[in-house]
Amino acid sequence: MNFSYRYRAEDSAVELPAADYVARFRDAQRIAEYCRACPSYGSSWGCPPFGFSVEEYLSGYATALVVATKIVPEQEGLPLSEAGRLMRPERKRIEARLLDMERRIGGRSFAYVGTCLHCPEGSCTRPDGNPCRHPDRVRPSLEACGFDVGRTARELFGIELKWDVEGRMPEYLTLVCGFFHNAGHIVWNG
């Protein structure tokens, strides 16, 4: 069966100096503990541990564009197991846009925490010690690089992250991504 749920997605974007975003919202040690506690730690090319210095990965950019996408399902009380059906199309839309921005203006995009969109679920090559099939498309999330997205959503967008209640989706889901760049001002229209 293929179920489709209707929802509304709203993007909000904030630009700020990259150094300010790093100083205010990055708590690498605390967030790394959450990553290490995740059962998927080290099993996806978008997740830590990384084979590069995150500090170097973040350096050299003047501006951070941070985007929050609020996904509001029309139907209340959907099973949490269906959250991916609402998030996946939005992740695809925004990740494609971020990668296009990388190609056109340079910079570095930060995708979303969770399952990679580019290989079928459970088929990542990392657990087998093989190279990523899609290194041109896989990007780490802000969380994977030590950023507190709960605090980011709350302080930059006025959005409180919501969690499931007894296996049911909350009233809305929130995705937070980013784009570090040196291109001046970028307008993000959702």
What per-residue confidence (pLDDT) applies to 40? Answer: 83
Range with the poorest average pLDDT among 68-82, 88-102, 107-121, 151-165: 107-121
What per-residue confidence (pLDDT) applies to 190? Answer: 66
Residue 66: strand, helix, or coil: strand
pLDDT for 19-40, tens place per residue? 999 999 999 999 999 999 998 8
Tell me whether the omega of the peptide bond preceding residue 120 falls within 30 degrees of 0, making it cis. Answer: no
Element (H, E) at 68: strand 63-73
Q: How many CB atoms lie within 10 A of CB 22?
A: 19
Q: What are phi and psi of 50, to 5 degrees?
A: -100, 160
Which residue has tokens 């993007």? Answer: 11
Which residue has tokens 């170097």? Answer: 56
pLDDT for 42-85, tens place per residue? 888 888 999 899 999 999 999 999 999 999 999 999 999 999 88
Q: How many CB atoms lie within 10 A of CB 138?
A: 19
pLDDT for 106-138, tens place per residue? 999 999 877 788 888 888 999 999 999 999 999
Which residue has tokens 């967008």? Answer: 157
